[in-house]
Amino acid sequence: MTLANLIDLEAQLARDRDADPAALAARDRALLARGPVDPRRPGALLARWLDALREREPGALHPGRAVARALAAVRALLAVAGVGVGWGAATALMTYGGGHPVNVWDFLLAFVGLQAALLVLLLALFLLPLAAAGAPLAGLFGGAVGWAYARIARRHVEPGREAEWRALWHRLRSRRSLYHAVEPWLLLSVTQAFALAFNVGALAAVLRLVVFTDVAFGWGTTLVELDATRFHALARAVAWPWRALWPEAVPSEALVAATRYSRLEGAYLLAGAGRSARPELVGGWWPFLVASLLAYGLVPRALLLAGSRARVARLLATMPHDDAEARRVAARLAEPHVETRAPLPEAAAAPPRSGARRAEAAPPGTPAALVLWRDVPGGDALAAAASRALARPVAAVRAAGGGGHEEDWAAWADGADPVVVVAEAFEPPDRGVRRLLEDLRGALGPRRSVLVLLVGDAPGPGTPRPEDVRVWRDAVEALEDPFVGVEPLRLPGVAP
C-alpha cells in the first residue's frame, strides 16, 4: 500500500458509502475475478482493487496520485527553500568585512546549538507519549484547521448542506484515527527534507566563503572564567564525533588561544601580536565548523529523512486494514458473489378491466339449472342452498370438470333460466371455466342468463371472500357478455 493508494482508498470508501450493496458486490467481485484473491493480505488485496477501479472508472475521483505528487512538490519546494535559507544564513554569519572576525560562537549557536536543540525536541515528540509533548501542538494545529473548515463550510456551502460538510469533516477525523501512526512520520519526512536542504545550503555557503574569500575567525567572551583552556575543552567535546575520523578538524589549544578576540582590541587586524602575520591560524577554524555542520546538521537530518521515509513506507506496507469498512471490501472481493434475480425485472401487470356492471337478471320464478364446476362439494345441501340464495327452484344439477365431455347444454338446460355455474371462489377462473361459459352461451343463445355462483371453502356451502369474488368478476367481465354475472352465495339470514 502506498500513500496514493491510501488516499484513493478513503475516497473510494466515501464514494461507495451510498451505493447499492448488491451493485458493489457485483462490481468488486468482477474486478478481481481473473487473479487469486488472498484476504489474509488485505493491503495487497486493496491495492489491486484500487488499481482495477482506476482502470475501470478513469473518470472517477482518484486523488491519491495527485496528493502524492503534491506532497512531493511541497517537499521539493521546501528543499529549494531550505537550500536558500541555509545558504543565506551561513553567508550572513560568516561574512567577514575586515572589521571584526567571524565569531565561532555565533556559528556554533546557529548551526550546532539550535539544530541540536530542535533535534532533541523532535526526538522527544516521537519518543515521549504524544499527550505529554506533541498533543498541545497537534491539538492547536487540529483545532485551527477544524475551525477554519467550519468557517469555510458556513460561508461557502449552499444552505442546507452545512450538516453534510460537517459529517464529512467528522468522517475524515474519524478515519484519521486509523492512520495516526503514519501521520507524524509523514510530517517528519517533509520537514527533514527542508532541514537537510538547509544544511546542504549552509555547507555550500561555508565552503564557498572558505575557498573564495579570506575569512578570519575568532571567539570571545565576557566571562572571565571562560578562558582559552576551557573553550578548547568545549571545542574538543563538540568535536568528539569526528575526533578519530578527521583529527585536523579538532581545534588545537594554540588555535583557541590565538584566536581569542576582545572588544578592547579595536580593529581586528591591527590588534594582537603576530595574528595578522599568520592567516592560517585565524582561518584554521573552518575544518572544525564544516565538521560541526556535517555532524550536527547534515548527517542527522539525512538519517532522519531516510529513516522517516523508510518508516512511512513500512507503516503503509504493514497497515493491518482491519477496520470494518476495509474488512467489508475484502469480504466482497474474496467471497463469491451470488445473484439470484432475473436479469431484467418483470414488467408491470396490465390493470384489471374497470366498469363493473350487473348481469341482466333472469325472469322471476323460472327454475335454475346448476352446473357444479370441478369437484365443488356439497351435493344436495349445496343445491338447496343455491335454491334459497337464488329464491327459485332448481330444475337440474350437473357436474362439469373441463375435461371436454360436457355437451348438449341446450337440451339439458331447457326451460331453466338462469343456468348457474357453481364454483369454488378460491379456485381462480381459468381457461376451463371460461370455455364452459362460452360453451353455455353458444348452446343457450345470446340472451339466456348465466350466473356464476361462488361458494367459499368453509365446510358446508359457505360465503366466499370478497377478494376472490372480485377476481371472478374481473375475469367474467372480460367475456363482455351482459347476460353472464357473478354473485357470491349469500344465504338468507347469514351475514357475509
Partner 1 sequence: MTDAPRFAVVGRVNKGKSSIVATLAEDDSVRIDPRPRTTTEVREYPVRVDGRTLFVLVDTPGFEDAPRALAWLRAREVSAADRPARVAELVRAHEGTDAFVEERRLLAPILAGASILYVVDGAKPYRPNYEAEMEILRWTGRPGMALVNRIGGGDHADEWRRALDQYFRIVRDFDAFAVSFEERLELLEAFRALRPPWRPAVDEAVTALVAQRRRRRAEAAGEIADLLADVLTHVEELALEDEGALAAERDRLERSFHDALRRREEEARRRVEALYRHDAAVFEGAALARPVLNQDLFAERTWELLGLSPAQLVAASAVAGAAAGGVIDAAVGGASFLAGSVLGGALGGGAALWGVGRRFARARPVGPAGVPSLLLEARRFVSRARRFRVGPHAQPNFPWVVLDRALLHYEAVVRRTHARRGVVPLADGRAGVVAALGAGERRALDATFRRLRRAAPDVPRALRDALEREVARVLERVDPLPGEPRPAAGGGHG
Please give the residue ranges that form the binding site for partner 1 (CB under 8 A).
20-22, 25, 29-30, 33, 136, 139-140, 143-144, 146-147, 163, 166-167, 170, 173-175, 177-178, 323-325, 327-328, 331-332, 335-343, 345-346, 348-349, 352, 374-375, 401-405, 424, 426-432, 435, 457, 467-468, 471, 474-475
How near is the Cβ of 130 to partner 1 at its closest, in Å?
Answer: 14
How near is the Cβ of 335 to partner 1 at its closest, in Å?
Answer: 5
- C-beta separation of 37 from 45 below 8 A: yes
Distance CA 12, CA 121 (A): 38
How near is the Cβ of 389 to partner 1 at its closest, in Å?
Answer: 21
What are the C-alpha distances in Å from 356 to residues 349, 359, 362?
A: 19, 10, 18
Taking alpha carbons only, the member of 464, 467, 403 closest to residue 431 is 403
Helix (H, G, I), strand (E, B) or coil at 370: strand
Query: Residue 77 or 135: which CB sits closer to partner 1?
Result: 135
Reading the block at residue 376, the C-alpha cell is 365443488
How near is the Cβ of 242 to partner 1 at its closest, in Å?
Answer: 42
Query: Residue 106 or 430: which CB sits closer to partner 1?
Result: 430
How near is the Cβ of 314 to partner 1 at its closest, in Å?
Answer: 21
Distance CA 89, CA 110 (A): 9
- Which own/partner contact pairs does 283-287 have at CB distance under 8 Å and 24+ positions apart? 283/210, 283/214, 283/215, 283/216, 283/217, 284/217, 284/251, 284/252, 284/255, 284/259, 285/104, 285/217, 285/251, 285/255, 285/259, 286/206, 286/210, 286/215, 286/217, 287/246, 287/248, 287/249
Residues in the chain: 496
How near is the Cβ of 111 to partner 1 at its closest, in Å?
Answer: 31
How near is the Cβ of 17 to partner 1 at its closest, in Å?
Answer: 9
Amino acid code (one letter) for 60: A
Helix (H, G, I), strand (E, B) or coil at 492: coil
What are the C-alpha distances in Å from 294 to residues 103, 117, 202, 242, 476?
A: 19, 16, 10, 10, 102
Distance CA 292, CA 286 (A): 10
Reading the block at residue 325, the C-alpha cell is 469498512
How near is the Cβ of 454 to partner 1 at its closest, in Å?
Answer: 14
Count CB-CB contacts under 10 A for residue 141. 12
Q: Where are the alpha helices (DSSP H) in 157-181?
A: 162-176
Query: Residue 445 or 459: which CB sits closer to partner 1?
Result: 459
Query: Residue 20 or 183: which CB sits closer to partner 1?
Result: 20
Distance CA 407, CA 354 (A): 33
Query: Residue 92 or 163: which CB sits closer to partner 1?
Result: 163
What's the longest Cα–Cα distance across the chain?
156
How near is the Cβ of 6 to partner 1 at its closest, in Å?
Answer: 14
Query: Residue 82 or 429: which CB sits closer to partner 1?
Result: 429
Query: Residue 160 or 364: which CB sits closer to partner 1?
Result: 160
How near is the Cβ of 295 to partner 1 at its closest, in Å?
Answer: 36
Query: Residue 63 or 146: which CB sits closer to partner 1?
Result: 146
| Per-residue exposure over 18-29, b if at least 16 CB sit within 10 Å of its own CB, e if not | eeeeeeebebbb
Query: Residue 424 or 487: which CB sits closer to partner 1?
Result: 424
Query: Residue 410 or 478: which CB sits closer to partner 1?
Result: 478
How near is the Cβ of 153 to partner 1 at its closest, in Å?
Answer: 10
Query: Residue 136 or 247: which CB sits closer to partner 1?
Result: 136
What are the C-alpha distances in Å from 194 to residues 40, 124, 181, 298?
A: 39, 20, 22, 11
